[in-house]
């Protein structure tokens, strides 16, 4: 569950990141609003340190951004001095960090608003549930800057949008607004201005109440099944289903439902 007030998380972060814990939820904020939360190396490596250092009792993470925008993407001021081998290792560094987010220990809910562009969209796409305020808009300005996505966007974004929509965004500079982003799967929730963090915390609170094993299966097994051939996928599903239902916590929860001690599914 989320606590209303935060307390400190014992992890060393750069000034461009701020973190706190609210009960079982860790909240990390991109805190470089003067540069529109552009992602420089210290920030991306700081995200790695944050996820590496999550205390064992944290059960979900919320990611959000300070100021008018979620993130303006890659810090473009870093590019001018980088040669080709350095460019490859920089992109591989982003892959490593974003993989730790996607395939980490706990689910991550992102609250987005304003610009969610370039590497900022790649970062959000590595997280598991995305809430968009109505101000959110999405762009891949790499095309017009003469560069290319490098934070896993070519892999993750076509799975959300489709290859041809990503091509259109990169070739023509097309942007999508928050409502379109919801329809396309760039976000899962659309929410009024200023409400994104509260909604993300509410969702993270629900996630934190799931069993760790179910959250693990959803984060690590489901996407692998989705990438598999159907026969392997069905087999993996059967194995995971059997493992999950064999867990004592699952048995206790099923028993609670049968004894009418657990909430029913409610549609509001």
Contacting positions for ligand 1HE (CB under 6 A): 35-36, 38, 68-69, 72-77, 91, 94, 115, 117-119, 141-142, 145, 147, 149-151
- Name the active-site residue from 122, 180, 202, 259: 122
Measured CA to CA, the distance from residue 54 to residue 96 in angstroms comes to 17
CA dihedral 95, 96, 102, 107 (to 10 degrees): -140
Cβ of residue 204: shortest distance to ligand 1HE, in angstroms? Answer: 26
CA distances from 62 to 40, 74, 95, 128 (A): 20, 21, 20, 10
CB of 123 to ligand 1HE, least distance (A): 9
Longest dimension (CA), the chain: 65
Q: Tell me the residue nearest to ligand 1HE as measured from the CB.
A: 118
Residue 25 or 39: the one with the smaller Cβ distance to ligand 1HE is: 39
Options 142, 180, 202, 209, the catalytic residue: 142
107 in Cβ contact with 86 (< 8 Å): no
Q: Which is nearer to ligand 1HE, 22 or 35 (CB)?
A: 35
What's the closest the beta carbon of residue 230 comes to ligand 1HE, in angstroms? 33
Query: Quick one: tokens of 238?
Result: 């059967």
122 catalytic residue (yes or no): yes
Separation of first and last alpha carbons in the chain: 20
Nearest distance, CB of residue 90 and ligand 1HE, angstroms: 7
Catalytic sites, residue numbers: 122, 142
């Amino acid at each position: 569950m989320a606590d209303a007030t935060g307390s400190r998380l014992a992890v060393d972060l750069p000034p461009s990141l701020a973190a706190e814990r609210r009960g079982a939820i860790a909240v990390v904020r991109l805190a470089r609003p003067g540069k529109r939360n552009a992602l420089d190396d210290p920030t991306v490596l700081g995200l790695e340190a944050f996820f590496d250092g999550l205390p064992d009792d944290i059960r979900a993470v919320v990611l959000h951004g300070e100021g008018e925008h979620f993130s303006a993407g890659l810090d473009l001021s870093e590019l001018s001095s980088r040669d080709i081998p350095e460019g490859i290792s920089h992109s591989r560094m982003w892959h490593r960090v974003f993989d730790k987010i996607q395939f980490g220990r706990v689910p991550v809910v992102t609250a987005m608003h304003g610009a969610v562009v370039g590497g900022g969209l790649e970062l959000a796409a590595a997280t598991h549930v995305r809430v968009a305020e109505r101000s959110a808009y999405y762009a891949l300005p790499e095309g017009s800057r003469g560069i290319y996505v490098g934070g896993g966007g070519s892999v993750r974004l076509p799975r959300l949008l489709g290859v041809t929509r990503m091509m259109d965004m990169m070739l023509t500079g097309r942007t999508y607004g928050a409502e379109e982003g919801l329809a396309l799967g760039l976000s899962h929730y659309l929410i009024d201005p200023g409400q994104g963090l509260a909604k993300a915390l509410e969702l993270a609170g629900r996630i934190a109440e799931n069993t760790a094993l179910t959250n693990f299966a959803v984060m690590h097994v489901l996407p692998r099944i989705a990438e598999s051939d159907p026969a392997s996928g069905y087999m993996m599903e059967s194995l995971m289903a059997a493992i999950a239902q064999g867990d004592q916590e699952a048995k206790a929860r099923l028993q609670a439902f049968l004894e009418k001690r657990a909430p029913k599914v409610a549609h509001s």
